[in-house]
Structure 1
Amino acid sequence: MIDADHTPWPDVAAAHRRGAGLAVLPVGAHEQHGPHLPLGTDTATAVEVARRLAERLDAVLLPPVHYGATWGTSGWPGTLSLSAATVTAIVVDLGRALAASGAGGLVVVNGDWGNRAPLLVAAQQLMEEGVLPVVTLDHPGMAEAIDEVRESAPAAPGLAHAEEVETSIMLRLAPDDVHPDRYEACYPVFPSHFGTAPMPLHPFSPSGVFGDPALATAEKGERLLAATVEGCLAVLDDFVAGVLAGRAEAR
């Protein structure tokens, strides 16, 4: 693995030429995660998954995009949200620059739900234009791991925000940034169409917590991260093979 942020350009160029020449881009968010977790929680998670993937794939780890499309949490002070179009444009521009630098493919590690749609649009645009192969990863394998480690009830099906899951991950990654003395549980009553239509979340939880962080542990966080990395690698198996085949044909 090469960490591009701390590496001279000739070494990055050589890494792009080697093997599949993959670059791994973490895309996070700067949004509220309750009174006990940092605003950079999603970015920290995406960076760690991306770092582990880059190590396993002998890829170039790119600096993270610290902001995302987090309109749903913009009702809390501190959240800084980009438009979906901006998220798409950032990844498209970076993809074009990577192709010009000789990268063989781009792996995008998404850290926030709001980024899913704009990242898929970016991947489609880069693929349609023939810029370079792109795949976006939305924590494959994590849902199954959550089912195995979670002891508290979720606030809603599939919702894990500032509760046991994310708190466990941050206890593993940055325990000094977690404030257990501020833990509080919140189980809002959501409308029947929650999850099917865009809606601001702040009316449902004054604290920004959805669930209960009290049972979080660093050991659970490690299990969640490890399962996500393995899930990502399973998804990437055929993608990497395709990039290698395409490079071989081009030579």
Structure 2
Amino acid sequence: MKPYLFLLIILLFAGFTHAQQLPARWDELVASDFQQALEKSSKTCILPIGILEKHGPHSPLGTDLIHVREWAAHAVKSEYAVVFPDYFYGQINEARHQPGTFALPSKVIWELLEATCDEIARNGFDKIVILNGHGGNPEFIRFFMQSLLNKRHNYAVYFYAPQNDKAFTDQYLKMHKSDPKNDQHAGEGETSTLMYYRPDLMRMDRAADQSGDNQHRLNLPNVYTPIWWYAAYPNHYAGEGAKATTELGKFTAEHEIESFVNALKAIKADTSTLKLQNEFYDKVDNLNK
């Protein structure tokens, strides 16, 4: 066999093997591969939750959704898990005055999240990892998860809540240009991350078209009111997105991917959470017997 023909056969076989790699996205799997995906993932499914809302005048409405989608996609290249398709049903009532916001009633998002988790579990997964990209979701997610103890479930839900280490924080602040205290929504940090993941979607020439400054229109010490965010940031923009850089985005993204991969490995290896959860349910069921 001629050398060049042998090389061609090797390249074709390598391409075929690459094409046959098991997809991580649920919607890209074929049904006949689903059992293999369950086994390879240790019955672990990632549920990336974003939102549809204004992100300043420069970043896409689906910034939070795109962020967690890319974050999960990069992580599962190192540590396999099945990734649930786009999920953008969270708490976003505070942005209903802005075009493009998709805000469902509280009862609906609650029931939809539980039904989604139940259906993920019905398909064989017993570990569901919530990867959240929206700042208005954590309180809702934590309350939802605590409420799962109200009745028996045959799966465990894990909410990934990263804590940055000092080395990362110190370097991040060195690279950061704007005031970190006001860098919240569509500001330098979030914009930088999207510039790294999806630069094609950014409209950076518009980033300074609106103010992202805190307007300080309420002064109620030690008092919470749901209109607080609108009072502070009526443009639904908090920070200076114009100061974002791809370098900062790359630094942030690489750190968040590595950190999530480490957490994912621990979750896949975890045998205690479900055991303790079932022990708890058993004690509840036998309380008055």
In which range does the TM-score fall when normalised by the shorter chain? 0.7 to 0.9
Partner of 1:11: 33
Provide the rounded CA distance (Å) in 1 between the counterparts of 2:178 and 2:206: 17
Query: How much has 1:8 moved relative to structure 2?
Result: 0.9
Aligned residues: 245
Tell me how far apart the structure 2 counterparts of residues 98 and 173 of structure 1 sit (CA, whole Å): 27
Structure 2 distance, partners of 1:176, 1:203, is: 32
2:122 maps to which of 100, 107, 113: 100
Q: Hey, what does 2:267 align to over in structure 1?
A: 239
Residue from 143, 149, 159 that aligns with 2:175: 149
User: If the length of structure 1 is used for normalisation, what is the TM-score?
Assistant: 0.84
Question: Matched residues in 2 for 1:86 and 1:76: separation?
Answer: 21
Identity %: 24
Unaligned runs of 5+ in 2: 1-22, 276-289
Q: CA RMSD for the aligned pairs? A: 2.9
TM normalised by structure 2 equals 0.74
Higher Cα radius of gyration:
2
1:29 and 2:51 matched: yes
Deviations 1:144-170 (A, max 9, x none): 3754532201353xx511111111112
Q: For residue 53 of structure 1, report the CA deviation from its aligned partner.
A: 2.8
For residues 253 and 24 of structure 2, what CA distance do their matches in structure 1 show? 21
> Superposed, which structure 2 residues align to 1:209-224 within 5 Å?
209-224=237-252
Mapped to 2, the partners of 1:15 and 1:194 lie a distance apart of 49
Partner of 1:65: 87
User: Which piece of structure 1 moves more, 142-151 or 31-40?
Assistant: 142-151
Distance 1:3 1:215 in 2: 34
Counterparts of 2:223 and 2:86, CA distance in 1: 27
Partner of 1:25, secondary structure, is strand
- Report if the CA contact (8 A) 1:29-1:40 is conserved: yes
After TM superposition, give the deviation of residue 118 of structure 1 in Å: 2.2
Pick closer, same or farther for the CA change 1:234–1:6 going to 2, 3 Å. closer
Distance 1:181 1:70, change over 3 A: same
Conserved? CA contact 1:75–1:202, under 8 Å: no
Contact 1:95 1:126 in 2 (8 A): no
Q: 1:234, CA displacement in angstroms?
A: 4.2
Q: Distance in 1 between matches of 2:163 and 2:104?
A: 24
Match for 2:139: what amino acid? A
Give the corresponding residue for 1:174: 198
The 5-angstrom pairing of residues 57-206 of structure 1 reads: 57-126=79-148, 129-141=152-164, 144=169, 146-154=172-180, 156=182, 159-184=183-208, 185-190=211-216, 191-192=218-219, 193=221, 196-199=224-227, 201-206=229-234
* Cα separation, partners in 2 of 1:194 and 1:90, compared to 1, 3 Å: farther
User: Are the counterparts in 2 of residues 92 and 123 from structure 1 also a CA contact under 8 Å?
Assistant: no
